[in-house]
């Protein structure tokens, strides 16, 4: 039978949905507003409506093996959102699987949005052809996803992959998680802005730096993009900040490499619009923080799939987790 899955990617602004065949071909990419400000119940209603919309486009609903969902935060084994999704007020405690089953008679599987992105990169993007990989999304924060033997590793209660909270600087910058010195405080977009403002008054160099002047005179104008535009333009303070960022990131990746010995680490998210400079600098620092034998068998590359990775990974997750179980 020609089975298909439905993938849903839950973002703070938009919900994305897609229909995917077992061979990975997809169709009907659809985008609707999340309406996160109206609370968790409304978000769930919108997800169910989007599933309905996608089912209507297919001739036989019976061929749907189920729904995969990528969401911010953690999801327990029974589909209950445990938390960690602060940008979606009221989303915590939502019961996803029972709602999808009650409405459409379909099984569902949900996990963290960066974990589904990792699955998508593994199957269709920069991780194609390697079995073990780790994906990091360098955005407002840092999310992580782990693929082992071509399958996502969710960990207990779906909480694996919190690579952004690996501590890289004891007594470092306080983090939203309550600890100090998490890599997220240095290598996320927010972290890059903070350390640029913090280090500008103490940075000294013989060569003039436009970036330093902006950071001192108009700190509100500093963004990760401005920092990296200057770094790529050979601004000495920009180059220095990139080195600080990548050295801290390398500490976390060294720990990941020593723990998992992956074939590949994939870096994505908004910060990676800077591109090659981050890959090159972090790859230069990583050998200082992990076993040489493991590093020799690993590489660090940029993500390939862009903004639709989440929805593709969510649809793949349904095949991986639900298989033919909906017909049992
Ligand atoms: Zn933290």
Residue range 174-199: mean pLDDT, rounded: 97
Evaluate if residue 217 carries a pLDDT over 50: yes
Per-residue pLDDT of 123-168, as tens digits, reads 999 999 999 999 999 999 999 999 999 999 999 888 899 999 999 9
* Cα 110 to ligand 1 centroid, rounded to whole Å: 24
Residue 185 CA to ligand 1 center (angstroms) comes to 8
Same domain, 147 and 276: yes
Report how far ligand 1's centroid is from the alpha carbon of 94 (Å): 25
Give percent above pLDDT 70 in the chain.
Answer: 98
Q: Is 101 left (phi over 0), alpha (psi -120 to 50) or beta?
A: alpha
Mean pLDDT of 117-122: 96
248-290 tens-digit pLDDT: 999 999 999 999 999 999 999 999 999 899 999 999 999 999 9
Same domain, yes or no: 274 and 172: yes
Ligand 1 centre from 73 Cα, in Å? 14
Exposure string over 203-223, b if 16+ CB within 10 A, otherwise e: beeeeebebbebbeeeeeebe
- Give the model's pLDDT for residue 1: 59
Smallest CA-to-CA distance from 245 within 209, 194, 201 is with 194
Mark whether 189 and 297 lie in a shared domain. yes
- The whole-number pLDDT of residue 2 equals 61
Contact 224, 271 (CB under 8 A): yes
| C-alpha 179 – ligand 1 centre gap (Å) | 5
Residue 320 and residue 304: Cα distance in Å, rounded? 21
pLDDT tops 50 at residue 325: no
Ligand 1 center to 58 CA (angstroms)? 43
- Rounded CA separation 270/182 (Å): 19
Structure confidence by residue, pLDDT tens digits, 15-32: 999 999 999 999 999 999
Ligand 1 centroid to Cα of residue 163, in Å, is 9
Which has the closest alpha carbon to 196: 151, 241, 259?
241
Output the domain CATH number for residue 34: 3.30.420.40
Q: Ligand 1 centroid vs 27 CA: distance in angstroms?
A: 38
CA of 180 to the centre of ligand 1 (A): 7
Q: Which residues contact 82 (CB under 8 A, 6 or more apart)?
A: 73, 74, 75, 76, 92, 157, 158, 159
Is 242 in the same domain as 168?
Answer: yes
Q: How far apart are CA 4 and CA 23, in angstroms?
A: 9
Distance 239 CA to ligand 1 centre (A): 25
Q: Tell how far the Cα of 141 is from the centroid of ligand 1, in angstroms.
A: 10
Residues 56 and 201 in one domain: no
182 & 312 share domain: no
267 lies in the same domain as 190: yes
3-state secondary structure 188-238: CHHHHHHHHHHHCCCCCCCCCCHHHHHHHHCHHHCCHHHHHHHHHCCCHHH
- pTM of the entire predicted model: 0.92
Give the mean model confidence (pLDDT) for residues 290-303: 97
Structural domain total, the chain: 2
The pLDDT, as a whole number, for residue 84 is 80
According to DSSP, the residues that pair with 275 across neighbouring strands are: none
> Would you state the pLDDT for residue 326?
41
Sorted by sequence, the CB contacts under 8 Å of residue 318 that are 6+ apart come out as 5, 6, 7, 20, 65, 66, 67, 68, 108, 109
Q: Are both 166 and 52 inside the same structural domain?
A: no
| DSSP character at residue 7 | E
Distance 142 CA to ligand 1 centre (A): 10
Distance 84 CA to ligand 1 centre (A): 12
Pairing of strands 64-71, 4-10: parallel
Instruction: Give the residue with greater pLDDT, 326 vs 308.
Output: 308
For residue 178, the CA-to-ligand 1 centroid distance in Å is 6
Angstrom distance (rounded) from CA 63 to CA 322 = 13
- Beta-strand relationship, 74-75 and 81-83: antiparallel
Share of the chain above pLDDT 90, in %: 85
C-alpha to C-alpha distance for 133 and 203, rounded to whole angstroms: 37
User: 81 is in which domain, residue-wise?
Assistant: 4-119+307-327
Using the mean position of ligand 1's atoms as its centre, give its distance from the Cα of residue 181 in Å: 7
Judgement on whether residues 170 and 299 belong to the same structural domain of the protein? yes
Residues 267, 133 within the same domain: yes
Q: State the distance from the centre of ligand 1 to the C-alpha of 167, rounded, in angstroms.
A: 7
């Amino acid at each position: 039978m020609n089975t298909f899955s439905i993938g849903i990617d839950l973002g703070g602004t938009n919900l994305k949905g897609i229909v995917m065949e077992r061979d990975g071909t997809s169709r009907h990419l659809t985008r609707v507003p999340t309406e996160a400000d109206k609370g968790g119940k409304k978000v769930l209603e919108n997800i169910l409506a989007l599933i309905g919309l996608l089912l209507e486009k297919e001739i036989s609903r019976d061929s749907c093996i189920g729904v995969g969902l990528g969401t911010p935060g953690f999801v327990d084994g029974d589909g209950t959102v445990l938390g960690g999704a602060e940008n979606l007020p009221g989303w915590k405690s939502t019961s996803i699987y029972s709602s999808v089953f009650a409405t459409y008679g379909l099984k569902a599987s949900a996990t963290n949005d960066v974990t589904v992105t990792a699955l998508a990169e593994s199957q269709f993007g920069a991780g194609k052809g390697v079995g073990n990989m780790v994906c990091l999304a360098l955005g407002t924060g840092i999310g992580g996803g782990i693929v082992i033997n071509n399958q996502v590793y969710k960990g207990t209660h779906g909480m694996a992959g919190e690579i952004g909270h690996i501590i890289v600087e004891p007594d470092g910058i306080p983090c939203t998680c309550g600890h100090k010195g998490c890599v997220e405080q240095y290598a996320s977009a927010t972290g890059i802005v903070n350390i640029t403002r913090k280090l500008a008054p103490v940075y000294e160099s013989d060569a003039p730096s436009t970036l330093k002047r902006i950071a001192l005179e108009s700190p509100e104008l500093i963004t990760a993009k401005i920092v990296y535009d200057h770094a790529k333009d050979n601004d000495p303070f920009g180059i220095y900040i990139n080195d600080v960022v990548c050295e801290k990131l390398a500490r976390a990746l060294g720990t990941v490499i020593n723990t998992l010995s992956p074939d590949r680490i994939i870096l994505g998210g908004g910060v990676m619009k800077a591109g090659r400079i981050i890959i090159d600098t972090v790859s230069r620092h990583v050998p200082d923080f992990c076993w040489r034998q493991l590093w020799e068998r690993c590489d660090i590359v940029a993500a390939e799939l862009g903004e639709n990775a989440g929805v593709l990974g969510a649809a793949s997750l349904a095949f991986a987790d639900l298989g033919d179980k909906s017909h049992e």
